[in-house]
Amino acid sequence: MAELLITGGAGFIGSHSCLMLLEAGHNLVVLDNFDNSSPESLKRVLELAGPSAADRLQVVEGDIRSAGDLERAFEAAPAGRPITAVVHFAGLKAVGESVREPLRYWDVNLCGSRQLLESMQAHGCRSLVFSSSCTVYGLPEQTPISESAAIQPINPYGHSKAAVEQLLADLAASEAGWRIARLRYFNPVGAHPSGRIGEDPRGIPNNLFPFVSQVAVGRRDCLQVFGGDWPTPDGSGIRDYIHVMDLAEGHQAALDVLLAEPPQLLSLNLGSGQGHSVLEVVRAFEVASGRSVPHTIVERRDGDAASTVADPRLAAKRLGWRTRRCLEEMCRDGWTWQQANPEGYGR
């Protein structure tokens, strides 16, 4: 059992991970400014975790860029039980927005991470799991993508993630004792099978899965499939979708390894190793929901690759972790959430 600080714990991936970490018996302090989430997600996490978790989750509303807010979060841990590790989800993640507002992205993602690391250092806490992304690989030269592939992001969001990865490497090299996992997620989707927590994008979704589920539920008319002429079997783009519950398990495994092993810097892909095309996702969602998902093929989207799939072997070797849930479960659980919460948390 450990005392953990979870930044961005109210968000999509953070809320599912908080639930799993509470179920594993850890004590959590969540620091979130609710910029892209609602406190309701954490209420539901507590409801799902049951009565034994009620006094093991402290929520601090605050910003990772604020030394004072971080201080409040570190101080929220129970007396005599200081924070031993941080899981750092907080950040901004929309590629298009990052192109329009690079200063904001660099500020939250890089300056926020720098401030967090300074506070960790001040508190003698040197264990960190960081949410990175396969976006750091940019347009990959080959797929499946292994961790040794070139880091060559192609947009401000990706640049800011790659910069934090570099900062973490510099820090680990500067001082003994850091235990750091840089986890490069592929395409997280789905929801907790209860349908009580899930992904709640603001406005028009940028990503495929939330768009498809909003079409299925009748919130949007038609999905635009970005490109039907990719060099793939059915002409639509291929991605490595990972169930958010598998991703949460990956975080738990990474924490266990970091806390058990000598200090180290890990860089790991979290993906399934299996690719699915846009049209396959549409069909699987139609089956799971029993609804039709009208779609039309349009021009390719700028900055897209034909196919990005993880080589997940290093994560399996280092963490003893692999994905267990298939595309059908991603669609089923995503649909359960969407149907029960057609307007998300109602932010």
Q: Which residues are catalytic?
A: 157
In what side-by-side order are the strands of the sheet with 276-277?
276-277, 238-239, 307-308
Q: Which residues bind ligand UD1 (CB under 6 A)?
A: 93, 95, 133, 135, 157, 187, 206-208, 211, 223-226, 237, 239, 278, 301, 303-304
In the complex with ligand NAD, the residue whose CB is nearer, 164 or 319, is 164
Binds 35: which of ligand NAD, ligand UD1, none (CB < 5-8 Å by kind)? ligand NAD
Q: Cβ(242)–Cβ(308) under 8 Å?
A: no
Q: Which of residues 90-129 bind ligand NAD (CB under 6 A)?
A: 90-91, 93, 108, 112
Stretch that binds ligand NAD, among 62-70, 174-182, 261-269, 332-340 (CB under 6 A): 62-70
Is the Cβ of residue 42 or residue 225 nearer to ligand UD1 in the bound state? 225
DSSP strands (E only) in the chain:
3-7, 27-32, 57-61, 85-88, 127-133, 179-185, 187-189, 223-226, 238-239, 241-243, 265-270, 276-277, 295-298, 307-308
Distances (CA, A) of 9 to 5, 49, 183: 9, 15, 16
For the record, the structure tokens of 146 come out as 């292994």
Pick between residue 14 and residue 227 the one whose CB is nearest to ligand NAD: 14
What is the rounded CA–CA span in Å between residue 347 and residue 72? 26
CB nearer ligand UD1, residue 70 or residue 212: 212
Q: Choose, by CB under 6 A, the member of 23, 35, 256, 286 that binds ligand NAD.
A: 35
Position among 4, 28, 36, 253 found at the interface with ligand NAD (CB under 6 A): 36
Q: Strand 241-243 relative to strand 187-189: parallel, antiparallel, unpaired?
A: parallel
Identity of the amino acid at 81: R
Residue placing its CB nearer to ligand NAD in the complex, 185 or 337: 185
For residue 333, what are the contacts with CB-CB under 8 A and spacing of at least 6?
190, 191, 192, 193, 195, 198, 243, 245
Q: Is 32 in the site for ligand NAD (CB under 6 A)?
A: yes
Strand pairing partners for 225? Answer: 297
Q: Contacts with ligand NAD in 205-264 (CB under 6 A)?
A: none
Among 30-38, 77-85, 165-173, 325-333, which window interacts with ligand NAD (CB under 6 A)? 30-38
Task: By CB under 6 A, tell whether 8 contacts ligand NAD.
Answer: yes
Distance CA 104, CA 106 (A): 6
Q: Which residues are near ligand NAD by CB under 6 A?
A: 7-8, 10-14, 31-37, 63-65, 89-91, 93, 108, 112, 131, 133, 185, 188
